[in-house]
Amino acid sequence: MTSSPAPRIVRIEPHGYSFESSPSVSLLEAATAAQVRLPRSCRNGSCRTCMCRLISGTVSYRIEWPGLTKEEKNEGWVLPCVALAETDLVLLVPEAEIDRPQQK
């Protein structure tokens, strides 16, 4: 019997939005499910629209060659559309927005 992996908590700074993710979905998919809107376009790791800084935690990639150089990866840049949360994460995404209707 297999059990699903424990959820990872992803926090988006500087806003402090947080949501659960897992290594089976991309960070962009998990954010979208939680109604957190991150910059995006191609969703396949090539356009770099979603590129942002990983402040803490570890990601892996669902594709072999995400559109980042080795230096960019070493500097902490990640592509959420193809990145998977291996641990709890903190990402720096100033452009992030909550995709929820305004309370009246």
| Positions in the binding site for ligand FES (CB under 6 A) | 40-43, 45-50, 67, 79, 81
Closest distance of CB 39 from ligand FES, Å: 7
Structure tokens that stand for 11 in this block: 């926090």
Let me know: does 62 contact 84? Beta carbons within 8 Å. yes
Nearest residue (CB) to ligand FES, 34 versus 50? 50
Q: Which residues contact 104 (CB under 8 A, 6 or more apart)?
A: none
Q: How far apart are CA 37 and CA 61, in angstroms?
A: 20
Nearest residue (CB) to ligand FES, 44 versus 56? 44
Nearest residue (CB) to ligand FES, 65 versus 101? 65
